Amino acid sequence: MQPKKIPPQFTRTANKILESRYLRVFRPRGSRETPAELFARVARAVAEAELLNGNTNQAARYEEIFLDMMLSLDFLPNSPTLMNAGTKLGQLSACFVLPVEDTLEGLFDALKNMAVIQRSGGGTGFSFSHLRPKGDFLSSTGGQSSGPVSFMRIFDCATSHIKQGGKRRGANLGSLRIDHPDIMDFIAAKTNERDFENFNLSVVVTDAFMKAVVQNHDYELVHPREGTPVERLRAGDVFDAIVHAAWQTGDPGLIFHDAVNAATPTPHLGDLETTNPCGEIPLLPYESCNLGSINLAHMVRSEKGKYTIDWDKLRSTARNAVRFLDDVLEISKFPIQEVERATQNSRKIGLGLMGFAEMLILLGISYNSKKAVQTAEQVMKSIQEEAHRTSSTLAEERGVYAAWKGSVHEKIGLKMRNATCTAVAPTGTISLIAGTSAGIEPLFALAYRRSPVLGDQSFFEYNPLFRKFIETHNLDTKYLTENVLEKGRLIDIDGISEDVKALFVTALDIPLKQHLKIQAAFQRHADNSVSKTINLPEEATLEDVGQAYLQAWKLGLKGVTIYRYGSKKNQILELGAGEEAYRYDSPAQCDPGECEI
C-alpha cells in the first residue's frame, strides 16, 4: 500500500530506538525495514482481522485508516504489536498476569510461562500472596518454606537472562497482600538497590487497612493457606515501613484492592489481585491486554494563531483505535493456551494517551493549574465515551465478549465487545518514537539525560516545544539554552516571566497534590487503571511520601507510585544534559511555523 502521508521526520533518539528494536532486518541480504514499511506491515496484519467479519473492501479500507494514523503518529500501539505484527512470532500483547500457586510444580509452571511470555515481548505481573510464609512446615518433605521473597529471587534471576522479544529487558510486577505474614520482608525487599532489579513491587492494601492506619488501630496477618490469624501488627508501623522504603528506593507502590475490584465489569470471574508491570491493567490470572495510545499533542488545531482541542479528530482517532485494538485480539498469537482462553473470554483492551503535557503547553495551560485538571477530565471522558460507543457497535457486528453473561454490562443491558476499553499506560518508548511527552506525565525537564535506553547508551534530550517557543517569542536564546542545558528547568533561572515558568513547569516543581489530582481526573474515566509517577524532589520528606499514599487512597485511585529524585544511584532520568542535548536531537513533531505558542 502506498501511504497517503509522508513518513514523519524522527529525532535521532527515535531513529536509534526504531533501528534497535522495531525495524526488521531481512537476511541474508541484510537490508532493514523503513519506518513506513514497519507501519505498513502492522496495518496490513491487523486489518486482516476485518476479513473475518467483513470483506476485502472493508479490510483494505481499514488497512489504509490504520496506516494513516500510525504514519501521522496520531496513534501507536504497544511495542509487541509494532515488533511482531505480520511476523511468524505474532505475539502482540503487552501485559500479562500469571498465577503463582503454592506448590513446587505451580511455582515453576509460572516461571516457565514467564520465560515464554517475556521472550515474546510481554511483561508479567504476579501475586505472591498465596504462597505460605517463611518458616512454614512442609508436610511433603518435613522441611520449612522459604517464603515468597525467596521465590521472587528465582523469577528475578530468570528475567535477567531473558530479553523481551529478544530486543528489550524483561519487566515484572510482584505484589503481596498487606495481611500476608511475610509483609515486612516484602516491603524491605528492594532497600538494597541491587536486589530485584527486574521487579516493580506493590503492596495490595485494603480499605480496612488504610482506615486502621488513620485510626491508629492494629490489624491481623492471616495465613494464606489456612485463612487463620497468625499475628497482630500496628497498622501505622507497617505503613511507616512502606513509606520509608518508598522514600529510600521508590518501592513499593500501593494497589488499592477495594477500588480495583469495585470497578471491575466481570466480578463473576474472580478477584483482581495484581496488575501488569506498570500498574495500568489489573488482570485476572492468565489474562493479557493490548494497549494503544493517542498522541494528544496532535489532537489540537490552530485557529487565528491560538490552539484549541480538535474534539472531532480526538473522537475519530479513538473510534479507529478501539477497532484497531479489537482487531489485534483477532490476529494475535498467544504464547500459552491458558492465556488465549482467558484473554478471549474478556477481550480486554486499553486505549490511552501520550503527549498530555505537550497538549497543555500548546493550549497555553500550565500543568500546575485547575484548568489542567479540568482538561484532563474532559479529554479522558471524550476518549472513554467514544471507546465505549465503538465497543458497543463492534458487539452488534461481531458479538459480545464471551464472559458478558453475568457481567455488569449484561446487568445494565449494554452489549460490549470488550470487558474494558481504556487505560493510561506510561508509553515510555512509543512516546519517544512519536516525539512527545510520556503518558499523562508533566515534562520531567526541559533538558535531561535518559539512560539506559538501549543497552548502556544514554540519550540527551532538549524539549523541542521550548526551543521553538524561545525562538518565536524573541527571548534570549543563547542565555536560556545554556542555562536549561545545565539545570534542566526554569525555576532557578533569572529573567524569565512567571507565566513562562508556569507554562513550562516540570515534574519536580509540581506539588504532590496536583500530581494526584491529575491522576484522579484521568482515573475517573478509565476502565482499567492509570500509570503515573508522583515525582518528588530530592528534599521531600517521609511525611510527604505518607501524604501521597494517604491522599491517593482518599481520592479513590486504584494504585499509586512515587519516586523521590536521587533516591536511586542509577536512575533513568537526570536533570540537565549539557551541550550534547542541543546537538543530539532536533524538533520532531512540529513543522516550521506550526508550533507557535
Catalytic residue IDs: 276, 278, 280
Between CA 14 and CA 10 the distance in angstroms is: 6
- Secondary structure (H, E, C), 339-378: HHHHHHHHCCEEEEEECHHHHHHHHCCCCCCHHHHHHHHH
How long a stretch of residues is the chain?
A: 597
- Going by C-alpha positions, the residue among 379, 398, 399, 392 that lies closest to residue 421 is 392
Facing residues of 177 across strands?
A: 204
Query: Residue with C-alpha cell 452488534?
Result: 396
Strands 559-564 and 533-536: parallel
Q: Do 355 and 426 touch, CB atoms closer than 8 A?
A: no
Radius of gyration of the chain (CA): 24
Q: Output DSSP code: residue 20.
A: I
Question: Which amino acid is residue 542, in one-letter code?
Answer: L
Q: Do 572 and 451 touch, CB atoms closer than 8 A?
A: yes
Between CA 384 and CA 422 the distance in angstroms is: 7
Facing residues of 560 across strands?
A: 254
Phi, psi for 349 (deg, rounded to 5): -130, 165
Cell numbers given for 561:
507510585
Between CA 434 and CA 359 the distance in angstroms is: 13
Buried b (16+ CB within 10 A) or exposed e, 172-196: bbbbbbbbbbbbebbbbbbeeeeeb
Between CA 108 and CA 89 the distance in angstroms is: 24
